[in-house]
């Protein structure tokens, strides 16, 4: 069992201790962490601590330098595409949870093509496919056709769907998916159990191991994330970053990424138990960048325009744009219910203009299938 997972297993029983250690970090610890060229786990803990709140500007300067050297002045824009919102899970914070009475929708292949055309006309060349977890609604032949269709229209097809087993990820990769995103939601087992009372998503460990399975199956990029606000955020961010690092160590050829979704209202009124103020959110992003200089860092349209724009150059390298989080959201006609509230409703061209105004270059393509 590698060091990270051993740590996580231990953390399941000792998160209280971990949180106490984070809270006890001193300014001297933070200064040492900032001085280290290659921060280790203890340094990451310092960067996420309350003591580091006084060092945000120093962290930002360092993050800016690291991002500039590793990524230049570029940010990649992509769009999500929801195929189906049928779901057997009962995630308390999600707009798609099973007990919600709304009508469920699934895109036909023709509708997937039409949605793809809409996105492609906006300049999108990288799409992230999402579904609820209901294999009956989205059986393998459907998924394979969808990935295969999208692969012809987009340079990169990412999937953010329910965790698959080894064979499932191999099947998805063969069908045309090349990148995988999966959020553990929270690394706090107790909170996880309480937030996922029913459905296959109850299985914490199956989900936790999924990014590694995806890496083994040949996905060229794997992104992890914690949904900040579900549990104590500093420890969730710490464990998420360690998860990303362990993926890097185990699979050095893969582009490991980290996303920082912050819980927003899901139309059913789930309020974050640990709301993350903007200052802490920025601190987490900066800590991610300092600890993982080569990882892509994604901020979605959950965040408002002014904040997203301010984060450019501080470490964010990927942004969704023109996002619709409802099934059929890119098509004309009645909209389904969204998975989460979008606070940056700008079109792709508006986001492009905002990026250029910050003297940065928006990119749409950063992958060419070599096979």
Pairing of strands 179-185, 221-226: parallel
Least separation, in Å, of the C-beta of 16 and other proteins? Answer: 32
- Residue 189 in the binding site for other proteins (CB under 8 A): no
Please choose, out of 67-75, 87-95, 195-203, 322-330, the segment that lies near other proteins by the rule CB under 8 A: 67-75
Q: For residue 5, how far is the Cα from the chain centroid?
A: 20
Report the distance separating Cα 243 and Cα 253, nearest Å: 16
Each residue 291-320 as x (binds other proteins by CB under 8 A) or -, in order, gives: ---x--------------------------
Q: For residue 144, how far is the Cα from the chain centroid?
A: 23
- Residue whose entry in the numeric block shows the structure tokens 């910050």: 358
- Residue 359 in the binding site for other proteins (CB under 8 A): yes
Q: In terms of CB distance, is 251 or 343 closer to other proteins?
A: 251
- Residue whose entry in the numeric block shows the structure tokens 């969808």: 146
The alpha carbon dihedral of 247, 175, 319, 165 has a sign of negative
Torsion of CA 118, 119, 121, 123, to 10 degrees: 170
- Residue 69 in the binding site for other proteins (CB under 8 A): yes
Query: Using CB under 8 A, which of 36, 40, 72, 140 touches other proteins?
Result: 72
Query: Using CB under 8 A, which of 6, 28, 73, 265 touches other proteins?
Result: 73
Please choose, out of 96-104, 264-272, 301-309, 363-371, the segment that lies near other proteins by the rule CB under 8 A: 363-371
Q: Find the helix or strand (DSSP H, E) in which 320 lies.
A: strand 318-320
CB-based burial label for 42 (10 Å; 0-12, 13-18, 19+): middle
The alpha carbon dihedral of 42, 193, 9, 132 has a sign of negative
Query: Using CB under 8 A, which of 39, 164, 252, 299 touches other proteins?
Result: 252
Query: Using CB under 8 A, which of 194, 255, 273, 343 touches other proteins?
Result: 255
Least separation, in Å, of the C-beta of 371 and other proteins? Answer: 7
Least separation, in Å, of the C-beta of 179 and other proteins? Answer: 12
Q: Find the helix or strand (DSSP H, E) in which 255 lies.
A: strand 255-259
DSSP letters, 166-202, are: HHHHHHHHHHT--EEEEEEE-S-HHHHHHH--SSGGG
The 10 Å CB-count burial string (b at 16+, else e) for 200-224 is ebeebeebbebbbbbbebebbbbbb
Q: In terms of CB distance, is 23 or 353 closer to other proteins?
A: 353
Query: Using CB under 8 A, which of 123, 197, 267, 268 touches other proteins?
Result: 123
8 Å CB contact between 70 and 271: no
- Residue 70 in the binding site for other proteins (CB under 8 A): yes
- Residue 288 in the binding site for other proteins (CB under 8 A): no
8 Å CB contact between 212 and 247: yes
**Between vectors from CA 116 to CA 110 and to CA 118, what angle results, nearest 5°?**
105
Q: In terms of CB distance, is 194 or 255 closer to other proteins?
A: 255
Report the distance separating Cα 45 and Cα 42, nearest Å: 5
For residue 179 the two structure tokens come to 């990148």
Please choose, out of 2-10, 140-148, 252-260, 326-334, the segment that lies near other proteins by the rule CB under 8 A: 252-260
Question: In 3D, which of 252, 254, 304 has the Cα closest to residue 281?
Answer: 304
Each residue 81-120 as x (binds other proteins by CB under 8 A) or -, in order, gives: ----------------------------------------
Query: Within 145-184, which residues bind other proteins (CB under 8 A)?
Result: 155
- Residue 361 in the binding site for other proteins (CB under 8 A): yes
- Residue 244 in the binding site for other proteins (CB under 8 A): no
- Residue 360 in the binding site for other proteins (CB under 8 A): yes
Least separation, in Å, of the C-beta of 178 and other proteins? Answer: 10
Q: In terms of CB distance, is 11 or 311 closer to other proteins?
A: 311
Query: Using CB under 8 A, which of 84, 186, 235, 248 touches other proteins?
Result: 248
- Residue whose entry in the numeric block shows the structure tokens 């905002």: 354
- Residue 127 in the binding site for other proteins (CB under 8 A): no
Binding site for other proteins (CB under 8 A): 68-74, 123, 125, 155, 220, 248, 252-256, 294, 356, 359-361, 363-368, 370-371
């Amino acid at each position: 069992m590698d060091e990270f997972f051993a740590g996580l297993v231990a953390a399941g029983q000792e998160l209280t201790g971990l949180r106490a250690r984070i809270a006890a970090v001193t300014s001297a610890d933070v200064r040492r962490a900032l001085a280290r060229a290659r921060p280790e786990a203890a340094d990451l803990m310092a960067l996420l601590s309350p003591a580091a709140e006084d060092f945000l500007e120093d962290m930002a300067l360092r993050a800016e330098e690291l991002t500039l050297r590793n990524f230049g002045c570029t940010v990649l824009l992509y769009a999500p595409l929801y195929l189906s919102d049928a779901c057997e899970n009962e995630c308390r914070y999600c707009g798609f949870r099973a007990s919600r009475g709304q009508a469920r929708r699934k895109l036909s292949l023709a509708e997937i093509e039409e949605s793809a055309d809409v996105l492609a006309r906006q300049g999108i060349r990288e799409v992230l496919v999402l579904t609820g977890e209901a294999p009956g609604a989205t059986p393998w032949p459907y998924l394979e056709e969808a990935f295969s269709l999208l692969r012809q229209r987009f340079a990169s097809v990412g999937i953010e769907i329910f965790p698959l087993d080894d064979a499932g990820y191999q099947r998805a990769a063969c069908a045309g998916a090349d990148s995988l995103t999966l959020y553990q939601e929270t690394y706090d087992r107790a909170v996880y159990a309480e937030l996922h009372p029913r459905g296959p998503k109850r299985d914490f460990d199956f989900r936790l191991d999924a990014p590694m399975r995806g890496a083994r199956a040949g996905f060229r990029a794997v992104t992890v994330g914690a949904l900040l606000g579900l549990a104590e955020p500093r420890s969730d961010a710490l464990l998420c970053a360690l998860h990303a690092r362990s993926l890097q160590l185990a699979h050095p050829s893969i582009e490991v990424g980290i996303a920082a979704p912050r819980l927003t209202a899901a139309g059913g009124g789930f309020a974050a138990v640990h709301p993350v103020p903007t200052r802490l959110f920025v601190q987490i992003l900066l800590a991610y960048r300092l600890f993982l200089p080569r990882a892509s860092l994604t901020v979605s349209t959950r965040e408002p325009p002014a904040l997203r724009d301010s984060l450019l150059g501080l470490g964010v390298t990927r942004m969704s744009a023109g996002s619709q989080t409802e099934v059929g959201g890119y098509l004309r006609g009645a909209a389904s219910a969204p998975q989460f509230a979008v606070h940056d409703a700008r079109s792709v061209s508006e986001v492009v203009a905002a990026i250029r105004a910050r003297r940065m270059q928006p990119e749409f393509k950063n992958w060419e299938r070599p096979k």
